[in-house]
Amino acid sequence: MTDDQPVAWWARGLLPGLLAVLIGVTGFLAVLDGVRENEDLAHLDDPVLHWLVAARGPVLTVTMRAISLVTGPTVLPFLVLAGALAWGLRRREWWRPTLLAAAMVGSTVLGLALKGLVDRPRPPVVTMDVPGLETTASFPSGHTLGTATLLLVTGYLVVRRRPTRARVVGWAVATVLGTAAVASSRLYLGYHFLTDVVAATALAVAVLGVVMLVDARHLAGLVAGASDDP
């Protein structure tokens, strides 16, 4: 094994990771600017909110409530913890489940910090499924950020080691559908605006980029260590 192979491992993860961070941060800032200036995508916030409120029905409302509950702060952290522990014990390796857990914690802290900084009010109480249930700031959506981060990072960590077409397509579809379902539930129930969930998705892409950079560096270290073995 040559000395430049660890560098090659790092270089392969560097560009995609940096690109994901750039796309995510740029997307988030663009949405934030639109919210502050009340332009661009923010023009759709009220129309989408009121359209969904008007479209509510008993069966769909129960479904959306369930989705929102499972992906919220009272349930999702325990699911992630249980999943990470099961992953580590079954595979006898802890790097990937630990990286996933760290990404989830990091995205939560980031989301809460940005909520405090932006301090955007929630949609009107009268549009909420349960008036007054959500009292924290609205931007970005924590449910959407957590779900998108979980799906993006898990998909990357699973596919990265054994990239097959079926895995790539499967995780891509699961990520899009899962994130869309959670984002739609938050809009449908009247707890967020459209820009809240779009910004959260962009942040999740940036978090994925950081994970890709950290993981690539870790893999480079493993390759370097293997090359030093006699």
Q: Please write the tens of the pLDDT for every residue from 182-229.
A: 999 999 999 999 999 999 999 999 999 999 999 888 776 655 554 444
Residues in the chain: 230
The two tokens of residue 79 are 């699911």
Position 216 scores a pLDDT of: 83
User: Nearest-CA neighbor of 207 among 170, 152, 157?
Assistant: 152
Q: What is the pLDDT of residues 133-165, one digit of tens each?
A: 888 899 999 999 999 999 999 999 988 877 788
Q: Is the pLDDT of residue 62 over 50?
A: yes
How many percent of the chain have pLDDT more than 70?
A: 90
Per-residue pLDDT at 2 exceeds 50: no
What is residue 12's predicted lDDT score, i.e. its pLDDT? Answer: 62
Closest CA to 91 of 161, 1, 15, 168: 161
| pLDDT beyond 60 at 3 | no
User: How does residue 124 score in pLDDT terms, banded at 50, 70 and 90?
Assistant: very high
Cis peptide before 140, with omega less than 30 degrees from 0? yes
List the end-to-end C-alpha distance of the chain, in Å, as a whole number.
Answer: 11
Q: What is the pTM of this model?
A: 0.89
Write down the pLDDT at residue 7: 45
| C-alpha–C-alpha distance, residues 23 and 121, integer Å | 26
* DSSP 8-state symbol, 139: S
pLDDT of residue 22: 96
Tell me if 193 sits within 8 A of 122, measured CB to CB.
no
